[in-house]
Amino acid sequence: MKKGFSLIELMIVVAILGILAKIAISLYFNQIQRSNKSMVVQTLQQNIARMENYYSKNGQYLQSGNLWPGNVITSVVGVNGAPVYSITFYPSTASSANAQAYCLMAAPVGNVTQSDQVTLYMDRYGNISTTAPSNCSIVTGTNLVCQAGGTSPPCSGNCSNGVYSACSGNCSNVTICAGGTGCSGNCNDSIIYGGGCSGNCNNSIVYGGCSGNCKQGSIVYGGCTGNCQGSTCCDSSGNCSSCKKK
């Protein structure tokens, strides 16, 4: 008469299967990250080519991070169909008045596959690194963003790691550029180029102000007073009371 498996034997088999499944998932996840990183490097190289084409026609690079040559790519969509990197152009430092330098920054988008990956930089020669080149107008720190508008601003909130404008809210790991008016809301891990944030702007880029829900990878060009979560909100002069996800 054949004997069946004992409970202990079944538990051992289940444990082994669980370990194997965990290893397989980890390997799959790592492969996705490598594929996404490869795509963003290729995208940076494509943008470099467009920047060089602009230079060949104008004899200089652009001096404003708000401007790009035509047909550049500012967002990389990963193998899972969601944005995984945002790409930003940074002009040369103020001392390089002849506009002969720049760099591109590819920052992982929060709450997605690449969120635990490092930010990548590429200079005009195609050199890639994990630290900002010395001739770009970027303040190195937890957030690597635009040229500083000050040094030690007033702060009554949590304003660690490179805040360059007034902060009275939760502004940990945020840089507020010279054009920003400050943060009185939740601005963790954000970039505020213009306007201010009095709402929830965590993990977002704000050009025109946010008093609503602008968290989780939003890019706010106009103003957001509604729910802009995970969306690109308005155009450069618009003002949204309600923005939907893309």
Residue whose token pair is 């200079």: 123
pLDDT: which is higher, 134 or 83: 83
| Predicted local distance difference test score (pLDDT) of residue 142 | 29
Q: Which residues contact 130 (CB under 8 A, 6 or more apart)?
A: 118, 119, 120, 121
Q: 232 has which bridge partners?
A: 219
- pLDDT of 89 above 60: yes
Domain segments of the chain as ranges: 33-129, 155-242
- Sort residue 71 into left (φ over 0), alpha (ψ -120 to 50) or beta: left
- pLDDT of 217 above 70: no
- pLDDT of 104 above 80: yes
pLDDT in tens, 116-155: 567 888 888 888 888 767 666 553 332 323 333 333 334 4
- pLDDT of 177 above 60: no
Helix (H) or strand (E) holding 50: helix 7-58
Q: Provide the whole-model pTM.
A: 0.48
pLDDT in tens, 9-60: 788 888 888 888 888 877 777 787 788 888 888 888 988 888 888 888 888 7
Question: What is the average pLDDT value for the chain, to the nearest integer?
Answer: 66
| Predicted local distance difference test score (pLDDT) of residue 215 | 63
Q: How far is CA 184 from CA 50, 102, 167, 199, in A?
A: 39, 32, 6, 8
Q: How far is CA 225 from CA 65, 175, 198, 213, 218, in A?
A: 25, 22, 10, 7, 13
- pLDDT of 165 above 60: no
Q: How far apart are CA 64 and CA 72, in angstroms?
A: 15
Q: How far apart are CA 175 and CA 198, in angstroms?
A: 15
